[in-house]
């Protein structure tokens, strides 16, 4: 089954006071590219998250948006902690000044809190359960994205199968037209010779030779055979798993190559029209294939 490279997935989870939200989007890309939008304190998870996406998908350009928030705080990126070591030193210094100078009174807490760097902020550190919750949130969002890519792939498959069937039918019309084309050429040649010779008796052997030469120049049996092979290969890919977009691109190019050869050999208007229709369908197939994984 085909997978599209276009998809979107979203998930939310909560662990204690922390709430995690993840969004993953993907569009077509010749290779795989993962861009992450994470809070700075989650930068250590960037590589594992990229590996997670690459383990599930083979092609596409991915954007991952991740937020982690605390229920009881404006943000989850910083922790506020007392600098107990520095506070102890200041307290001992004040006490020593009091004792040495024989001063009375106690040092108010406000005086201590007013000292620079007594309260410090540090980057948030996550425990194992919180990191696991983040990874699970992203994995759930990724699963939703993959499901959407599969559904879109099913739609693409139906469209491609229909267009390929149209091309197959046009190729059959071209093949069926060949004997008629040769007979019409023979009759036109015969009438032209009669006109030029003013009704003189025709050399049937020479007429047969000219018709045979024309048949050889316009022979498309090899091209039709190769087209049939390409059609079978293309259809067989609908049942294969894994990334097949590039293979489809190659086969589409080969179908186009054989179609061009048929067109160059054609001396018939109907055949030329069928070739034009095939090329138009191939262009639409080529556009669709650009979004297949």
pLDDT in tens, 89-138: 877 887 888 777 877 777 777 777 777 777 766 566 677 888 889 999 99
Give the CATH class of 7-75+126-149: alpha beta
Helix (H) or strand (E) holding 14: strand 7-15
Coarse DSSP helix, strand, coil percentages of the chain, rounded to the nearest 5 percent: 65, 15, 20
Residue 51: exposed, middle, or buried by beta-carbon count in 10 A (0-12, 13-18, 19+)?
A: exposed
More confident residue, 187 or 60: 60
Q: How far apart are CA 166 and CA 280, in angstroms?
A: 11
Q: What confidence tier does 198 reach under pLDDT thresholds 50, 70, 90?
A: low
Q: Encoding tokens for residue 170? A: 């046009």
Residue 209: pLDDT over 90: no
Tell me, what's the pLDDT at 78? 53
Tell me, what's the pLDDT at 77? 55
Beta bridge partners of 20: 13, 68
Q: Where in the chain is the domain with CATH 3.30.230?
A: 7-75+126-149
């Amino acid at each position: 089954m085909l997978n599209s490279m276009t998809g979107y997935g979203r998930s939310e989870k909560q662990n204690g006071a922390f709430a995690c939200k993840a969004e993953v989007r993907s569009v077509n890309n010749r290779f795989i590219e993962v861009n992450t939008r994470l809070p700075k304190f989650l930068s250590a998870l960037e590589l594992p998250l990229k590996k997670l996406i690459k383990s599930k998908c083979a092609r596409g350009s991915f954007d991952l948006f991740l937020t982690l928030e605390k229920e009881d705080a404006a943000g989850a990126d910083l922790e506020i902690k007392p600098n107990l070591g520095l506070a102890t030193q200041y307290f001992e210094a004040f006490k020593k000044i009091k004792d040495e100078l024989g001063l009375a009174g106690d040092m108010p807490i406000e005086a201590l809190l007013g000292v620079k760097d007594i309260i410090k902020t540090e980057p948030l550190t996550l425990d194992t359960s919180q990191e696991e919750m983040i990874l699970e949130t992203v994995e759930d969002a990724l699963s939703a994205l993959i499901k959407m890519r599969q559904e879109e792939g099913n739609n693409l498959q139906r469209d491609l199968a229909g267009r390929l069937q149209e091309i197959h039918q046009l190729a059959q019309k071209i093949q069926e037209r060949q004997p008629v084309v040769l007979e019409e050429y023979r009759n036109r040649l015969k009438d032209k010779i009669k006109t030029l010779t003013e009704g003189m008796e025709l050399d049937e052997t020479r007429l047969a030779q000219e018709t045979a030469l024309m048949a050889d120049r316009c022979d498309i049996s090899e091209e039709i055979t190769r087209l049939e092979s390409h059609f079978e290969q293309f259809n067989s890919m609908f049942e294969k798993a894994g990334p097949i977009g590039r293979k489809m691109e190659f086969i589409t190019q080969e179908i186009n190559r054989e179609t061009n050869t048929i067109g160059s050999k054609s001396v018939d208007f109907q055949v030329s029209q069928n070739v034009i229709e095939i090329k138009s369908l191939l262009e639409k197939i080529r556009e669709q294939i650009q979004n297949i994984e």
